[in-house]
Amino acid sequence: MSKLDSMHAALIGQSVRRREDPRFLTGRGRYTDDVPMARLAHAAVLRSPYGHALIRSIDTSAALAMEGVIGVLTYADIAGKVGDIRPNWVIGDSIVPPHPPLASDRTRYVGEAVALVVANTRQQAADALEAIEVDYDVLPAVVDEEAALETGAPQLHANVPGNLIGTYKASGGDYAAAAAAAHKLVTVRLVNQRLIPSAIEPRAVRASYDALDERLTIHLPTQVPHMHRRWLAETLRWPEHRLRLVAPDIGGGFGSKMHLYAEEILVAFAARQFDRPVGWTETRSEAHMATTHGRAHVENVEAAVSRDGRVLGIKLRSVANMGAYLSNMATGIPTNNTVTFICGNYDIPAMDAEVRLVVTNTTPVDAYRGAGRPEASYIIERTMDAVAHELGMDPVELRRINLIRSHQFPYTPYGHPVLRWDSGNYEGCLESAVTAIDHAGWRKRQAELRTQGRYVGIAVTCYMEVVGMGNSRTLSARGFDRGGWESAQVRVHSDGKVTLFSGSMPQGHGHATTFAQIVGDALQLPMDHIDVVQGDTDRVPAGHGTFNSRSVAVGGSAAHTAARKVLDKAMKIAAAMLEAEPQTVDYAGGTFFVKDQPQRSVAFATVARTAYVANKLPAGMEAGLDETVFYEPRAMSAPHGAHAAVVEVDIETGEVQVLDYVAVDDVGVLINPMLCHGQMHGGIAQGIGQALYEGVDYDESGQLLTGTLLDYAVPKSDQLPRMRTSFQVTPSPTNPLGAKGIGEAGCVAAPTVIVGAVCDALSGFGITHIDMPLTPPKVWQAIRAGRSRAQARS
């Protein structure tokens, strides 16, 4: 290890307070809807009130005659001028149905855009919607993914026979042999319900067109500014270099703000068409019906198990609901992102999976926090609980028997030719969680409390995921048409202060703090000398943005690598200034000095000024002190952990109370531990929301029954427990920071442990599984059914 490396830990690992928080906590954040624009016009979207209907005619004449109305767009106005919304992750031979930004002759889900009104005020635009007359011919709808595959089901697209987009198959090892050798075949049917992302800030867009410069400027709360610029340019048939995309502060994304939506295309088109800056901000009801949903899988699992508790193989037969159209990443979520991880933390030698991708008359489904890994964790962990029940074993002991051991890393799951889990200590996390929750103590108390009529349940589950997309070639081989690198430019100004321009993009994550720690650590400079710029395609020339927990592992590694390159150049300039050979110069705490002669020194700021004055540069060296890196990750990393929960169920009402929650996670090197705890708290809260409260309902005609926050229950703070989070650290060998990614871990683990604990509490009623969300009526009905079964047997 060099002396520089030995000095490397000054800022990394420190719980630095977020520099972003003062403006957020005092209401001074600037979001897209806050962006001021002169002559701003406002857009409103007319949406389909039917789940499935033919459009016989649209009459916009009355709306166009209304005061303040600037224009109305229907499909006839954009046909041939803008392209379809195109998915950019298409698995295998999946069929892509056409998806115009405005419905042409048919609507396929409630909320689909039919027309766009632009008016001087929001109220005028909203009023004009009611004056548009649409003649619909209502058609039969299908909202259930399994029903959509049945003979005679309503058909959505002419090019998608049987509503089947495609069938994904994957396997490893020999499942047939595992099943033949098994003592038991344990089967489980699981529904991973449809969810609404529910970001605090709804979607919004502002677009303006400068006819003199022929440039479009779009403000958009996007997780992926540069990719959004590319998609918009392609769809609008507009040169990408004349489109500036600015992402201001963003109030949460959770995956839903990384997709291309009709409103963004239409508002940008309208800004040019009507020669006015145009803005649109989603209402909460629109967020429920028109922003992509998440999850929506039905899973049938079979586990081949030996008499002593070894799981020999897993078979999955899954049906995934894509909604009415394919959103950007849709086909990759229930297939690659789920199937890859269905063996979880366990050394299971055989896997056989098949996923059918189905269109229905519902809102399109795409990535939502975790994007396939919560579903995979739910599959394997609920199966492990079922296996333990069938074999009469303790669920924790069953997990111990099957865990991947530390010496097996890098671990190759089910003999896969490419997949590798990079590093980990699964046993350590499990045992720490078991100890922290006091598993043995709660087992004793559980029996005591049961005699008092109190029903307490305990569960300990594991999870693993793989995060940090790219590598670009690997992603491309799996149909991911985006690339996987991340860019970083470190610019040292002539006064020695530094600006990092990063292609990554926060939505409340704390990047400005975290990335300043990474760059300040590499350059050994105070954090307040480091500014971080993100979210403006004119200032940051390239990038891929934030998703798949890639910000630190990929974006942070890009920043770290660029900073180290800057330091290498500065070292050579300092050597020239000190009239010494570069190899005799060292650096510490912002000062270059000659080894063994520390009095011969020069400050980093002086070197920076010299880089721009350029009078003492080594021969052949260019002026300036900037470095740009396009960091291409060679592999992804595999964070993991074990979570434990204790719940109490009121058997008279079905209400569930979480009494204790423990999380022990290994996400590699922690850049800012305080932010890591915060990420876990947020993710766990969303996971508990899925387990106990949240779920989207449609009626048979495709009407959305959970169209407001009165109908769709996001957990409130007093419904969440105190969370005890802690970390183990196994550095990842896949990137220079040793980081693994943490943003989605909490919601990957939480649903499984909460459902497991509730089912444990109710085991005396013969209950082994209840589908999420475990609402009081559903739990109460399960208890009643359990009592009825017991009475029937007696």
Residue 785 — very low, low, confident or very high, per pLDDT cuts 50/70/90?
very high
Does 244 have pLDDT greater than 50?
yes
Q: Which of 689, 680, 695 is nearest to 658 (CA)?
A: 689
User: Given CA atoms 386, 389, 391, 394 in this order, what sign does their dihedral have?
Assistant: positive
Distance between CA 396 and CA 392 in Å, rounded? 12
In angstroms, what is the C-alpha Rg of the chain? Answer: 28
Residues 6+ apart with CB under 8 A from 7: 524, 588, 589
Residue range 88-107: average pLDDT? 96
Residue 6 — very low, low, confident or very high, per pLDDT cuts 50/70/90?
very low
Q: Which amino acid is present at 335?
A: T
pLDDT in tens, 270-282: 999 999 999 999 9
Residue 3 — very low, low, confident or very high, per pLDDT cuts 50/70/90?
very low
pLDDT at residue 541, rounded to an integer: 87
Q: Is 241 exposed, middle or buried (0-12, 13-18, 19+ CB in 10 A)?
A: exposed
Unique residue bearing structure tokens 């999420």? 772
User: Are the beta carbons of 254 and 686 closer than 8 angstroms?
Assistant: yes
Length of the chain: 794
Half-sphere exposure of 778 (CA within 13 A, CB side): 16
User: Are the beta carbons of 159 and 94 closer than 8 angstroms?
Assistant: no
User: Are the beta carbons of 714 and 706 closer than 8 angstroms?
Assistant: no
Residue 793 — very low, low, confident or very high, per pLDDT cuts 50/70/90?
confident
Does 159 have pLDDT greater than 50?
yes
Average pLDDT over the chain, rounded to whole? 96
Helix (H) or strand (E) holding 133: strand 133-138
Residue range 618-632: average pLDDT? 96
Distance between CA 222 and CA 484 in Å, rounded? 17
pLDDT in tens, 496-519: 999 999 999 999 999 999 999 999
Residue 479 — very low, low, confident or very high, per pLDDT cuts 50/70/90?
confident
Does 2 have pLDDT greater than 80?
no
pLDDT at residue 7, rounded to an integer: 44
Can you point out the beta strands (E) in 604-739?
Answer: 626-631, 640-649, 656-666, 723-728
pLDDT in tens, 355-380: 999 999 999 999 999 999 999 999 99
pLDDT at residue 10, rounded to an integer: 84
Distance between CA 437 and CA 455 in Å, rounded? 17
pLDDT at residue 482, rounded to an integer: 83
Residues 6+ apart with CB under 8 A from 590: 524, 525, 603, 604, 605
pLDDT at residue 477, rounded to an integer: 87
pLDDT in tens, 80-93: 999 999 999 999 99
Residues 6+ apart with CB under 8 A from 451: none
Q: Which amino acid is present at 56?
A: R
Neighbours of 233 (CB within 10 A): 18
Work out the percent of the chain whose per-residue pLDDT is above 70: 99
Give the CA distances from residue 14 to residues 122, 513, 670, in Å, rounded to whole numbers and listed in that order: 46, 11, 9
User: Are the beta carbons of 163 and 359 closer than 8 angstroms?
Assistant: yes
Distance between CA 102 and CA 622 in Å, rounded? 52
Residue 666 phi, psi (nearest 5): -125, 105
Alpha helices (H) in 259-335, listed in sequence order: 262-273, 284-290
Token pair, residue 53, equals 């209907």
Residue range 750-756: average pLDDT? 98
pLDDT at residue 564, rounded to an integer: 97
Q: Which amino acid is present at 173?
A: G
Distance between CA 163 and CA 153 in Å, rounded? 8
Distance between CA 30 and CA 32 in Å, rounded? 7
Residues 6+ apart with CB under 8 A from 92: 166, 168, 335, 479
Neighbours of 614 (CB within 10 A): 12
Does 320 have pLDDT greater than 50?
yes
Token pair, residue 752, equals 């499984």
Work out the percent of the chain whose per-residue pLDDT is above 90: 95
Q: Is 212 exposed, middle or buried (0-12, 13-18, 19+ CB in 10 A)?
A: exposed
Residue 53 — very low, low, confident or very high, per pLDDT cuts 50/70/90?
very high
pLDDT at residue 470, rounded to an integer: 81
Does 430 have pLDDT greater than 90?
yes
DSSP state of 34: G
Does 4 have pLDDT greater than 50?
no
User: Are the beta carbons of 74 and 135 closer than 8 angstroms?
Assistant: no
Half-sphere exposure of 184 (CA within 13 A, CB side): 16
Residue range 435-462: average pLDDT? 97
